[in-house]
Amino acid sequence: MENKLFFNIFFLMIGLATIGCSNICTIHVITIPPGANVTFDGKTQSDSPCTVTFEENEDIDVAHYLYITKAGYHNVRKIFKQSDYPSRVTITLEKTQ
């Protein structure tokens, strides 16, 4: 009887733990030259190369914004739909005149 109660509680806890869980998406960001500031959806990540992570949204058409800045180079902005985001992005920065 105790074992049956234990297993029922155990499986109930597992079921509750999975409610609200979402998939984590990752994008590996590489810039040429390295060391550019990476901002994703308004949040500063780190200098490139880096890995950006975000939670998958229920709306697959939601847009995500990637901003790349580096002193002496033109800023770059990329927009990705969640439904077709890349797993890796390589961006070659252009020098300002």
> Residue 95 corresponds to which tokens in the numbers above?
């020098």
CATH (one of 3.40.50, 1.10.3300, 2.60.40, 2.60.120) for 23-92: 2.60.40
User: In this predicted structure, what is the pLDDT of residue 11?
Assistant: 45
pLDDT, tens only, 45-87: 999 999 998 888 777 678 899 999 999 999 999 998 877 778 8
Measure Cα distances from 90 to 23, 29, 34, 97 in Å: 23, 6, 10, 22
Residue 23 confidence (pLDDT) above 70: yes
pLDDT interval class at 22 (50, 70, 90): low
- pTM flag (> 0.85): no
